[in-house]
Structure formats: structure tokens, C-alpha cells
Amino acid sequence: MKEEKLRELLNSLSMTEKIGQLIQVPGNMLNAEGQELGVRDELGIGEELLKNVGSTLNVVGADQVRRVQEEYLKNSSAKIPLLFMADIIYGFRTVYPIPLALGCSFEPSLLHRLCAATAQESVAGGAQVTFSPMGDLVRDARWGRCLESTGEDPYMNAEYVKACVEGFQEGLSEEGAGKGIASCVKHFAAYGAPEGGRDYNTVDMSERRLRQDYLPSYKAGVEAGCEMIMTSFNTVDGIPSTGNRWLMQDVLRKEWGFEGVVITDYAAIAELIAGMTPPPKVASGVITKLATAATYPRGTILCRSSGTGGDGKLKILGTTAGSNETLTPDCVLCDEEDIGTEEDVNVAVYVMGCFNEDVVTVGAEYDITQADRDALRERGIYLGQVLD
């Protein structure tokens, strides 16, 4: 879609529709068969929101993708196609060794090839974005997600993240002919260093150690051109990453120049708000200025199933979208000058619109080549399973 048409479409959307484009729900909420990742009623997600959401996750297979997309577009007033995202970590149809094992190859070029093959399989299955690679450096074996990391060395981690991003997105170029998938580097930042190895726990370290050991891999992903960054659940210097202005604005946007999409981890904003004392005067979800201010005025944050108010209506800083679309400074989480404006939302939706230019296309299945199989075997790495 040309920029002129994209801006024309943006200007035609109501605030409710704009906010909806920045929300992601699991496939089961869109009547897709698959993993149950949340209860719709508990999240307060009503029919109004479901008609306007911008993306979904973990809808698997070309037939499912087509069915969900077609059904969604029938009910959508704006007729903007859904983006389909998934946790495609170490293979799609072909399952590779876990990233920790692949890291033992000490060969980034091998991971590049495997991610390129995974991207082709994923595109054939209808996926457009993968929540991978995980750039988290790990040094505490007690943490349950060590398997998703390529290891404990900052330099090698950075090289692997770069290789994975370039492999996944190789087919996004004009020469790639639609065989690539957008890469989301996660979890920004230092998610792999929780105290006691306990998931979601506090991360407490000096800025020197953070920059020297933990940030290089995420920066490598940005420099490799990743389309998306995911925030982490943990705190950094006592502030939750999802609402951490220093991380999201000063480091990610200003220092590194990242202009892509920032997405929360699953329901991170709802959990962030639930942990505040006293509780803020804002609904648990959608796009709060706590998120947009932290992520810098240009790109904003794509919220993954954070929910709304208990009445199932979209909420913007305590104001019900649709009945009153004025963004009001009714939020105790930030200073009045940090309150979100409609322009912040416009920029966010525009970035997402540039990201989602076409209806999802699905094609023939793709299988790993014999050359890739041979390369794996030469390094003592064997495929664990090939799915039918």
C-alpha cells in the first residue's frame, strides 16, 4: 500500500479502531482451534474489541489462517487484514535442536540457514511474524528458559541473534519473493538474569554490566534490521521494562535508532498496572501513556491481550473510546505532559500499517534441504523430529 493510501486509511479510522489495531489476542478468541492462552471474560475483551484487533498469535496452518482472516474481515468495518504471529523458536514443520544446542555449533552461518528454512515453512503455513530470536544472555541454570538462549557469552549471543534475524528476514527482500518472516527480538531487556533463576523476578545489576553483557545481543538484532522488539516482564533498576522510559526511549529509540514496532510480552501492561500501589486510575490494558511515553513518541507499543475494563469496552486513560474519544490526563502513572495524545496513537497505527501492507498469503509447503541436513550432521547436530 502506498503511503498516500495508508494515511488516507489512517485518517478514516475512529479512535476505537486505531486503538484496536494496537491490540493482539490469541487465536482461540477469534474462534481458531488451538492453544488456550487466556479467558476472554477475565480479560474483559468484548465484541467491539474483537472486531478491531490488529493481530493474533498462534493460529497454526494455512487453512486456519485463511478461515480466521476471512471471518475477521467479514466483521471488520475498516477491513484491515490481521497480522498472524507465533512463537516459532526452533523450527516450524521441521523441528531443530533447541537454541542452546545450536549455540554449541559456534557457527552463526548455520543458524542463518536454519532460520531462513524455518521462515519459508512458516510463510507457507500463514505466519508473518515470529517471536524469535531470544537474545537473553543466560548464566543461571535454574532459570527455566535457558533452553531458548544460545548461551552465556555476550559476543556469541550477539552474533547468533544477528544471524537469526537476517535468516528469518532474508526472504522479505524483493529478491526473496515473499519467503521471509518478520523477526521479533526478545525480551528487552535482561530477562535472562532474574534473581534466583525465578521467572519474572527482579533483575538488579549495574549499568556497566547491563551494557557490557546483556544489551549487546538486542543491539545486534536492531542493527541486523529486526522489525520488532518485545519488552520483558522483569524490572530493570526497579522499573518494569515495559514502562521503563530509559530502556525504551533513551536506549532503544534514541541511542540505537530503532524505528520498528515494540510489542509487550503477553498481558505485560495488565500485569504492570496490577502491580502498582496505589492502583492507577486507568483501565488494565489498551494503550496507556505509561507504555507510549516509555517507548518514545514515535512508535508505540502493541499490547498483547492486556484486556480492557471489566465492562468489555475499550479504555483510553480512563476514558471510554467511542463515547468520548478525548484523551484526558486521568492517569497517576506519569506526569501530565506524558499523557498520550491522538498523534501518538496515529504514529503507532501508521508504523503498524507500514508493517502490515498485504493480506497474508500462504503457499506450498517447504521442507529443509538435504544440504542443510548434511550440514547439521557434520556438526554432530541431528534433527529431533519432522512433523507431518
- List residues with catalytic annotation: 265
Q: Distance (Å, rounded) from C-alpha 227 to C-alpha 222? A: 8
Q: How many CB atoms lie within 10 A of CB 336?
A: 8
Q: How many CB atoms lie within 10 A of CB 138?
A: 21
Strand ranges in 133-282 using DSSP code E only, listed in sequence order? 182-188, 228-231, 235-236, 239-240, 261-263
- Which H or E element spans position 27? none
DSSP 69-88: HHHHHHH-SS-PPPEEEE--
User: Grid coordinates in use for 152?
Assistant: 552465556
Helix (H, G, I), strand (E, B) or coil at 221: helix
Let me know if 149 is exposed, middle or buried by CB neighbors in 10 A (0-12, 13-18, 19+): buried
Cis before 182? omega within 30: no
Cell of 51: 472486531
8 A C-beta contact, residue 227 and residue 147: no
Segment holding 294, helix H or strand E: helix 289-294
In contact, 93 and 125? CB cutoff 8 Å: yes
Q: How do 261-263 and 385-386 pair as beta strands? A: unpaired
Question: How do beta strands 235-236 and 239-240 pair?
Answer: antiparallel
